[in-house]
Amino acid sequence: QLQLVESGGGSVQPEGSLRLSCAASGFTVDNYPIGWFRQAPGKEREGVSCISSSGDATDYADSVKGRFTISRDDAKNTVYLQMNSLKPEDTAIYFCAAQLILKPHYCGRGGNEYDYWGRGTQVTVSS
């Protein structure tokens, strides 16, 4: 059974950092694209970042470019989202998801493209 479990969320002050983890089971993260998404209260879900199964393609939302970095540890079967220079507007529940396609050099940030989702981890940025 495919499963994704997020961790690493928490409360941090503006300009602080957090690293989110997305641990996969039932499949290996080098088989499918993995995306990070977030949803704040009253707002639509936003595709934050993604990484292709080959690992050589990544994409970021304009709102996080230069601040967030997606990476992967195949030995741990885990995808990370390093978040630096956090802002209050980054406050949201963050989800990771897997897209069951066989396109090694592709990843997308459209939520409708993804097939399996974790339950999310809360990130709160506040002074």
42 burial (CB, 10 Å; 0-12 / 13-18 / 19+) is: exposed
Give the model's pLDDT for residue 87: 98
Give the integer Cα–Cα distance in Å for 18 and 77.
Answer: 19
Q: Quote the DSSP letter at residue 53.
A: T
| Residue 106 CB neighbours (<10 A) | 16
| Residue 29 CB neighbours (<10 A) | 23
**Rounded mean pLDDT for each run of 10 residues along the chain, 127 residues in total:** 96 98 96 97 96 96 98 98 98 97 91 95 97
Give the model's pLDDT for residue 47: 98
| Residue 125 CB neighbours (<10 A) | 20
Give the model's pLDDT for residue 105: 94
Give the model's pLDDT for residue 20: 98
